[in-house]
Structure 1
Amino acid sequence: MSLRCSSLPQGTKGSGSIGPTTPAIGHCVGSSGPLPVAARTGRRHLGSTLRHTTTMTRRYDIDALRVFAFALLILYHTAMAYVDDWGFHLKSVHAAEWLQWPMLFVNRWRMSLLFLISGIAIALMRPEGRLLRFAGLRTWRLLLPLLFGMFVIVPIQPYCEGVANGHVAPGFGHFLLRYWQVRPWPEGSFAGWQYGITWNHLWYLAYLWNYTLALALLMPLLGTAVVRRAVTFCAASPMLLIGLPSALLLAWVIWLEPIYPSTNALLSDWYQHAKYATVFLAGYLLGREPVFWQRVVALRRTTLWLALAAVGWYLGLRILGQVLPADSLLRQWPEPFWDLQGRASQSLYVWTALLAILGWGKVFLDRPFRWLPYCTEAIYPWYMLHQSLIIALLFWLRPLQLGPWMEPALLLGGTVGGCLLIHELLIRRVRWLRPLFGLRAEPPAASKARTVAL
């Protein structure tokens, strides 16, 4: 980071596409997916609907954190349409520069939290004794919704984007027939035009599937006594628990981010792979270590203050870069000095924020809230639907010129209402639709047994 530059950090974006895209500011969308979490005991049985009926001890705090994280996702993606100078598929005319700062506050750890929860979820599943079954179930639950989403849920997004920028002719039916041919589009038509099709916000499913299969291959090694003793030792030491992952994240942001800026395109997205795979693996290794949970609870105040101090320094450097006079002595300091400070504070902020969230979540959220079972099931469908609803609604609202307060209020309300109605009235009640949205085929009312889909 340089005080000679007044711009905000590059490399974050609205959402991903299959192919490389130009890095833009702002970052978009994941548990082993938006899926229920439980520490399971007892014998497992794989039914015809690919589900488990188990006796379990719930980790309510992990389920609740995922619900809140995906609620934040809807709010975040709605705000992406209004953040000035940040790339998104469709922008409102009511963009505001001040929104960059609260968005920066959350977008440094938002996706890392979801991948951390993914690793914890898999750890609590304890799948080590049935790796082939585990890999098959994860493939079913991740790739089927991804493919369905790319061909059915997502297309409205590139259509609206292409019509808005003048590269696509109006007429969704004609566009859809052309889109399903998976042929390249004219340059700049939409994110992913080179490949004819895009996954946009569903990139998380593709990344998670790859990390999950890689983890399954590594599980025999990660379960050895040497590795488990090393993990327990690191979890028991506050210095190592905070410092080691922060140092790894710093290494990736120093060495990889300048060469491989974030694309959400899977191939050659090495900085994001290093970052997200690190927190995903940390979640798996630490997730069922009792000493880890004791530590994150005991250190929750410390990690919160460290996170606030780190983000304060990080944002402060950004502000200094904008307000310092050109002849200021601080601007004469070497650029690598400021760059290292910015990257170090960013890395420390990400990991301490994650630890603080887990610690405070364990204290306040580890209880059976009445709303939790319904919301836990609703996460996956809402995740798949929300950004398409945002783009479609904004495409319709923009010409109405409703103003800077009414338009975002209707956009957010319409998105939440649309997710609620489509999930409640259609997805959860139609048996054949449920697996396409990551749910078990059997609706909850069809069985008195408590079932948990992987």
Structure 2
Amino acid sequence: MPVLDRRYDIDWMRVIAIALLLIYHIAIGFQPWGMMIGFITNEKSWDALWIPMSMMNIWRIPLLFYVSGMGVYFAMRNRSWKQLFLERAKRILLPFLFGMLSIVPLHLYIWQRYYHFDTAYLPGPGHLWFLGNLFVYVIMFAPIFFYLKRQEHSRLVNSMKKTFSSPQGILLVMSVFIAEVLLIDPMPFELYAMTWHGFVLGMLAFFFGFCFVLCGATFWHMILRWRWLFLAFAVTFFIIRITYFQSSAPTYMLSIESNCWIISFFAFAYKYFNYPSSILCYLSRAAYPFYILHMIFLYLGSYFIFPLDIDVRIQFVLVLLATITACFLTYEFLIRRIPFIRLLFGLK
């Protein structure tokens, strides 16, 4: 595996993670409890859809934080700490504030109209809570990350590389995540948004994501060698969870399963996706605006499609296509072409 100046597999992982987030949010609209967490919910539920979603739900958000930590490593290569703060403020803080004041109130307005509630302007983090956490992590860890980057060949960093580049190092990482759920005791594990569990879990994933890239090729070759074992453990834990524990699996077990999925995903992406492509170039730029925008078009699609008397599976496909198409058209013909709007959506 050649060592590349740019890690295309990390770009692919970010794109895939945001795509999974979009699919997951659409799936919530087909569960009977969706309205309780602020989603427009179809009267006809699709229970079987939740089996793959429950598999994905315990690792999709930690994956995004891992990848974000990796991205900071590359962002630091040619920047001082002041330049990094300014760049992350433009890329993260500005879209977060803009989204709180405009994107979130708009999709909540659609939700209010669908359920015939009194309409009101409701600013808030909504689905963009992730960005708020991420900016805090950058501020928190910048001194540590810059120190480690400057001391990349020191005894401390070499010791970190040796530790994390072994299967025992992965077990050490997992033990930290297990300690988090044992101390915080989240109920449920998958409730990340605006909770202490979500904040600490994201913080750990962000930190270790940076460390994994800092370790260099030895870490990636190690997980590549053990990728099938990590995947086998992930599948085994998932099968035990849905057949024996169902919705009440211990949180420490969920933490182990989550990291097994993520590490195996890292390894397979490193093996198969670490190459440039024009498709990746486009998608890696579009993914961020898609994430910010998608709830508006998801709610609009649900608003018009859920009342239709058609099969629930067709409704799912129609909402998915409507959301993706509307996000694409808005990105391609508005966000991408107007510099001021590009800035609001975190694009350079």
Partners in 1 of 2:78 and 2:184 — Cα distance?
Answer: 32
Amino acid at match of 2:309: Q
Counterpart of 2:198 in structure 1 is: 272
Counterpart of 2:7 in structure 1 is: 59
Partners in 2 of 1:117 and 1:375 — Cα distance?
Answer: 16
Partners in 1 of 2:188 and 2:259 — Cα distance?
Answer: 21
Counterpart of 1:352 in structure 2 is: 260
Amino acid at match of 1:237: S
Counterpart of 2:168 in structure 1 is: 239
* 1:128 Cα deviation from its structure 2 partner: 8.4
Counterpart of 2:60 in structure 1 is: 110
Amino acid at match of 1:83: Q
* 1:75 Cα deviation from its structure 2 partner: 1.3
Partners in 2 of 1:260 and 1:402 — Cα distance?
Answer: 33
Asked if structure 2 preserves the Cα contact closer than 8 Å seen for 1:74 and 1:386, the reply is yes
Partners in 1 of 2:48 and 2:272 — Cα distance?
Answer: 32
Partners in 2 of 1:286 and 1:101 — Cα distance?
Answer: 31
Asked if structure 1 preserves the Cα contact closer than 8 Å seen for 2:174 and 2:256, the reply is yes
Tell me the TM-score normalized by structure 1: 0.70
Partners in 2 of 1:292 and 1:355 — Cα distance?
Answer: 11
Asked if structure 1 preserves the Cα contact closer than 8 Å seen for 2:32 and 2:43, the reply is no
Say what the alpha-carbon RMSD is for the aligned residues: 2.3
Partners in 1 of 2:274 and 2:101 — Cα distance?
Answer: 38
Partners in 2 of 1:236 and 1:76 — Cα distance?
Answer: 32
| % identity of equivalent residues | 26
* 1:88 Cα deviation from its structure 2 partner: 4.2
Asked if structure 2 preserves the Cα contact closer than 8 Å seen for 1:127 and 1:134, the reply is no
* 1:215 Cα deviation from its structure 2 partner: 1.1
Counterpart of 1:423 in structure 2 is: 331
* 1:276 Cα deviation from its structure 2 partner: 1.1
| Structure 1 residues 17-70: Cα deviation after superposition (integer angstroms, max 9, x where no partner) | xxxxxxxxxxxxxxxxxxxxxx9xxxxxxxxxxxxxxxx822111111111111
Tell me the TM-score normalized by structure 2: 0.90
Counterpart of 1:72 in structure 2 is: 20
Amino acid at match of 1:80: I
> Match of 1:405, SS?
helix
Is it true that 1:228 corresponds to 2:157 in the alignment? yes
* 1:226 Cα deviation from its structure 2 partner: 4.8
Is it true that 1:401 corresponds to 2:309 in the alignment? yes
Amino acid at match of 2:82: L
Equivalent in 242, 255, 258 of residue 183 of structure 2: 255
> Which protein is richer in helix relative to its size?
2
Partners in 2 of 1:364 and 1:63 — Cα distance?
Answer: 13
Partners in 1 of 2:276 and 2:209 — Cα distance?
Answer: 22
Aligned residues: 339
Counterpart of 1:309 in structure 2 is: 236
> Match of 1:167, SS?
coil
> Match of 1:247, SS?
helix
Counterparts of residues 362-441 of structure 1 (less than 5 Å):
362-440=270-348
Is it true that 1:198 corresponds to 2:129 in the alignment? no
Asked if structure 2 preserves the Cα contact closer than 8 Å seen for 1:118 and 1:283, the reply is yes
> Match of 1:57, SS?
coil
Q: Tell me: CA distance 1:419–1:354, structure 2 relative to 1, closer, same or farther (3 Å).
A: same
* 1:405 Cα deviation from its structure 2 partner: 2.9
Partners in 1 of 2:192 and 2:71 — Cα distance?
Answer: 26
> Match of 2:306, SS?
helix
> Match of 1:302, SS?
helix
Asked if structure 2 preserves the Cα contact closer than 8 Å seen for 1:311 and 1:349, the reply is yes
| Structure 1 residues 173-228: Cα deviation after superposition (integer angstroms, max 9, x where no partner) | xx4xxx2xxxxxxxxxxxxxxxx422211111111111111111323554553541
> Match of 1:154, SS?
helix
Counterpart of 2:43 in structure 1 is: 93
Partners in 1 of 2:300 and 2:41 — Cα distance?
Answer: 12
Asked if structure 1 preserves the Cα contact closer than 8 Å seen for 2:27 and 2:50, the reply is no
Q: Tell me: CA distance 1:80–1:216, structure 2 relative to 1, closer, same or farther (3 Å).
A: same
Gaps of 5+ in 1: 1-38, 40-55, 170-174, 180-195, 322-338, 441-454
Partners in 1 of 2:241 and 2:180 — Cα distance?
Answer: 17
Counterpart of 1:190 in structure 2 is: none
Q: Tell me: CA distance 1:315–1:259, structure 2 relative to 1, closer, same or farther (3 Å).
A: closer
Amino acid at match of 1:64: W
Amino acid at match of 2:342: R
Partners in 2 of 1:342 and 1:110 — Cα distance?
Answer: 19
Question: Which deviates the most, 418-427 or 216-225?
Answer: 216-225
Partners in 1 of 2:114 and 2:53 — Cα distance?
Answer: 25
Q: Tell me: CA distance 1:295–1:391, structure 2 relative to 1, closer, same or farther (3 Å).
A: same
